[in-house]
Structure 1
């Protein structure tokens, strides 16, 4: 719940920033000089890219949470079996061991979104965020019945 609150607050702050930047871009365009028009266009590009990025991330997180809910209802969420140090951080060897099992499961059943979801969690636990995101994107695509590029 805390992560959702932080995400909503961060998104609200970003939207506020986008509005402010957009207003500045429009003001610069309104001046109409040879220097302010290109500057205004570039300032307007930032909120457009930012809104697109925020939308894509929000959609990704929402879909991943929906898959987690569905997997939980099936009783298929991965069990937290990771060993941790005295500070609560995951031990690398433990994460690597679980990752190897999840990877083998995914290689045995590459067309099952559930395997890709669990692999994404294993990647995240192993602190490999880019691969975790790609694995989750594949899980979402497979769940939605979309063609997946290999």
Structure 2
């Protein structure tokens, strides 16, 4: 719940920032000189890119949460079985065994979104964000293809 509140507060602050930056860009364009129009156009590009990025991330999180809810209803959410050091970091040697099992499960059933979801969670727990995101995107794509 705390993560959702943080996400929504951050998104709201970003939207306010985009509005402020966009209004400054419009003011620059209204000045009418070639230099201010060029700067105003460049400034307007920032909120457009930011809004697109925010929309893509919100869409990704919404879909991933939908998969998590469906998997939870089936009783298939993965258990955190990664061994941690006393400081809370993942023990990489022990984590390799968990990753090997998750990858083997995914290789055995490559069209099952549930396996990809569990692999994404294992990567996320190990703080391997790029792999976690790619695995989750693949799980979402498989889930959507199965529903179509």
TM-score by length of 1: 0.93
| Aligned position for 2:132 | 132
| Aligned position for 1:23 | 23
Contact between 1:116 and 1:136, CA under 8 Å: does it hold in 2?
yes
- Deviation of 1:94 after TM superposition, in Å, equals 2.5
| Aligned position for 1:56 | 56
Count of residue correspondences: 146
**What per-residue deviation string (whole Å, max 9, x for no partner) do you get for residues 89-117 of structure 1?**
22222222111100000000000000110
- Deviation of 1:88 after TM superposition, in Å, equals 2.4
Q: Secondary structure at the match of 1:77?
A: coil
CA distance in 2, matches of 1:89, 1:8: 28
Q: After the TM superposition, which of the residue ranges 22-31 and 81-90 deviates more from structure 2?
A: 81-90
* Structure 2 unpaired stretches of 5+: none
Contact between 1:22 and 1:44, CA under 8 Å: does it hold in 2?
yes
- Deviation of 1:17 after TM superposition, in Å, equals 0.6
| Aligned position for 2:114 | 114
* Structure 1 unpaired stretches of 5+: none
CA distance in 1, matches of 2:87, 2:46: 40
CA distance in 1, matches of 2:142, 2:65: 15
**What per-residue deviation string (whole Å, max 9, x for no partner) do you get for residues 52-111 of structure 1?**
000000000010011001001101111111222222222222222111100000000000
Which protein is richer in helix relative to its size?
A: 2
Question: Do residues 82 (structure 1) and 108 (structure 2) align?
Answer: no
**What per-residue deviation string (whole Å, max 9, x for no partner) do you get for residues 105-141 of structure 1?**
0000000000110111112123221111011001001
Contact between 1:96 and 1:126, CA under 8 Å: does it hold in 2?
no
| Aligned position for 2:34 | 34
Q: Which runs of 4+ in 1 moved over 3 A?
A: none
